[in-house]
Amino acid sequence: MSGDFRSQLEALRPYLLRYASLQLRNRDAAEDAVQETLLAALAAEGAFAERSSLRTWATGILKHKIVDAIRRTSREQALESDEDPAADFDALFDERGHWREHPEAWPAPDGALQEKQFFAALQSCLDGLPARTAQAFLMREHLGLDTAEICNELGITATHCWVLLYRARMALRECLDKRWFGK
């Protein structure tokens, strides 16, 4: 295994993690998918024929790992629904009904709730955007792609990309003014 291949692959980790986080919406699941992707890519180094960029190749592997993670989660949720939910809590208490280990205090539940509500409002606003506009915005702001990468992925010109980003920002600003800041 070449050290250069390994270091190039490791440099892709932040991008792959942003991509997986966007798809899975769970940081732990995204980290697992990226880890599995990197391991699979290292194991298949000889299969990388350089017909595409390393980033494109690794993203292709990641897409399969994301699908696997979604399938695994849906299977686990089906199994969990058959179990007694109270049984999980019994281990938290001793024979007198006292906590075995006291739970940690929440740092700021009001702040966490407000943050969650804000992101729900933002998601609702994003859902209201035209699909291509939302996709360009998320690629830029969430995945951190530059204009050339967005244009390449969407098959558009740089001017069209800037128009989409401008429209997304203006629509999101208006929507958030109504749904969040104006409430």
Instruction: Give dist(CA 171, CA 173) in Å, integer.
Output: 5
User: What pLDDT was estimated at residue 158?
Assistant: 93
Residues 6+ apart with CB under 8 A from 129: 137, 168, 171, 172
Using alpha carbons, select from 100, 84, 103 the residue that is nearest to residue 92.
Answer: 100
Is 121 in contact with 176 (CB distance < 8 Å)?
Answer: yes
Domain ranges for the chain, please list them: 1-84, 114-183
Return the CATH number of the domain spanning residue range 1-84.
1.10.1740
> Thinking of the domain 114-183, which architecture would CATH place it in?
Orthogonal Bundle (1.10)
Structure tokens at 118: 């804000």
The SS3 call for residue 149 is: helix
Amino acid 72 reads R
For the four alpha carbons of 45, 47, 49 and 55, in that order, the dihedral sign comes to negative
User: What pLDDT was estimated at residue 13?
Assistant: 94
Instruction: Give dist(CA 118, CA 106) in Å, integer.
Output: 19
User: What pLDDT was estimated at residue 77?
Assistant: 61
Per-residue pLDDT of the chain (183 residues; tens, 9 = 90+): 567 889 999 999 999 998 888 877 788 989 999 999 999 999 988 888 788 889 989 998 998 898 888 777 767 665 555 555 555 666 767 777 777 787 666 556 566 667 788 888 888 898 889 988 988 898 888 888 889 988 988 889 999 999 999 999 998 888 888 887 776
Is 71 in contact with 79 (CB distance < 8 Å)?
Answer: no
